[in-house]
Amino acid sequence: MRLSKPVEIHGVSQALAKGNCPVCAFLRNSQSTLLQGGLHPEEVNGICNFHAWALAAAVNVTNAAKIFQNLLRPACDGSQECSFCVRLREAEQPSLGNSWGRWIGSSCSTGLHTTVALCRPHARRMRQVAPVRLHGSIDEVESRILSDLNLELENLVTRSAMGEKAGAGVLGRMAEFLMSQRGIRG
Ligand SMILES: [Zn+2]
Ligand SMILES: [Zn+2]
């Protein structure tokens, strides 16, 4: 995996414009920042498969090398949880509870929810922390995306049976919907 340069997410509208789950987009941005020096090498005591490989492909080679050096210390015996995953989980909580929950609420009350994207894991976790009055809106967004994707998958199967080469984008969107964006905890 090649890491893109961290991009500042100036607001919900920017993530929305990309047509992806905005919570994933926010976390992906935090992840790039953490992998490129946002997490001090000495703060990294454990690493998962995904983040080890992401670090191996990171642009900031010095930082990556120092993190790996730190992980070679006897104290880091491989039993510690991935420090990047831990930080991302901490970043996710307030975002799900506050800004994104409010955003879903206002999108739904203005009819914007017909174009809102959310991956299923984030829709479900957002539901857990959002006020009860927003549950219906979150469910509505999730089921609308599910039926859209179902239809697109059906079309893809039909078209590929006829020998057409198209629609790989649908598979990617399906993977994102089910498991969150690549490397983001689902
Ligand atoms: Zn997501
Ligand atoms: Zn990790």
Domain ranges of the chain: 12-179
pLDDT digits (tens, 9 = 90+) for 56-83: 998 899 999 999 999 999 888 889 999 9
By the 10 Å C-beta count (0-12 exposed, 13-18 middle, 19+ buried), 93 is classed as exposed
Which has more pLDDT, 115 or 143? 143
Alpha-carbon span 29 to 139, nearest angstrom: 26
User: Ligand 1 centre and the CA of 105: distance in Å?
Assistant: 17
- When pLDDT is cut at 50, 70 and 90, the band that residue 183 belongs to is confident
Query: What residue type is 168 in one-letter code?
Result: A
Residue 45 pLDDT greater than 90, yes or no: yes
Rg value, the chain, Cα: 19
Ligand with the closest atom to the CA of 46: 2
- Ligand 1: distance of its center to the CA of 66 in Å? 30
| 8 pLDDT above the threshold of 70 | no
Q: Which ligand is nearest to the CA of 176?
A: 1
| pLDDT value, residue 6 | 46
Distance 88 CA to ligand 2 centre (A): 9
Give residue 57 CA to ligand 2 midpoint distance, Å: 14
Torsion sign across C-alpha atoms 70, 74, 75, 77? positive
Which ligand lies nearest to the CA atom of residue 27 in the structure?
1
Residue with the two structure tokens 């957002």: 126
pTM: 0.77
Whether the pLDDT of residue 153 is over 90: the answer is yes
Q: How confident is the model at residue 20 (pLDDT cuts 50, 70, 90)?
A: confident
**Is 3 a residue whose pLDDT tops 70?**
no
